[in-house]
Amino acid sequence: MSAGTVTAEQAARALVDRMKEVALCLDFDGTLSPVVDDPEAARPLRGVVELLGPLASRFAAVAIVSGRPAAYLGEHVAAPGVRYLGLYGLQEMHDGRIRVDPRLEEARPTVAAAAEALRESDAVHDSGAWLEDKEYAVAVHTRRIPDRERWADRIDRAARRIADRYGLELIPGKMVWELRPLVRSDKGDAVRRVVDESGARIVVVVGDDLGDLPAFAALTELAAEGHDVLRVAVRSEEAPPQLLAAADLVLQGPDEVLEFLRRLVV
């Protein structure tokens, strides 16, 4: 499945034929949920959640892999058997229990201090940007700012300055800057863990953002190790060109993701 471009129908048929070997790793924002101005208002597209439980009972693994906290994912995409890997895999909720990388716990005071510095910065305060408290990370969102292009450079400089001051990593995304501890983990690491722990031989990643590029890269490595892989990009006005170029299959927004998932439920 990794060689060349496939259609959604062809990909779904191949996955159903070997469903017990498949690990399905799904992004949340822009993939299962339409992009909205208020990140707190993001919810999965109607009909998505009802499909995930049946898929989890048939596939080797179904995981939601996101920069969101695991508890948020577990609350809003609740389905039996699904794994929720939040904060790019540093936090996981499975069967109602949350597991956190201990290095994150140690860094919580530093993240809180950085959040306060962001809150007091002129760029964030004057622009009206929204700060998202992720408990183990903090993110600055500009999606709901009417003149966000005017403020983007100033917020970028402020976020970088504060990240450097507190020794945090800065992860830019679509109209968002996330500051998090320098604890190595990305979506590629999370996908590998799902594959290792499930024993899957076929790995599917569906995503739409810069944060999904490491997951696509992990699939390239897994393919070299003998796994069958499928890189699915979700197109939007904000989807990075490199993600679309690397994809084996491109879907047109969450609506087509929903239809793709429906093809997998037999």
Do residues 161 and 147 make contact, with C-beta atoms less than 8 angstroms apart? Answer: no
Burial profile 82-94: b = 16 or more Cβ within 10 angstroms, e = fewer: bbbbbbbbbbbbe
Please give the structure tokens belonging to residue 117: 């510095």
* Angle separating helix axes 48-58 and 254-264, nearest 10 degrees: 40
**Is there a catalytic annotation at residue 255?**
no
Q: Phi-psi bin for 69: left (phi > 0), alpha (psi -120 to 50), beta? A: beta
DSSP 15-78: HHHTGGGEEEEE-SBTTTB---SSGGG--PPTTHHHHHHHHHHHSSEEEEE-SS-HHHHHHHT-
- In the set 17, 27, 208, 209, the catalytic residue is 27
Active-site positions read: 27
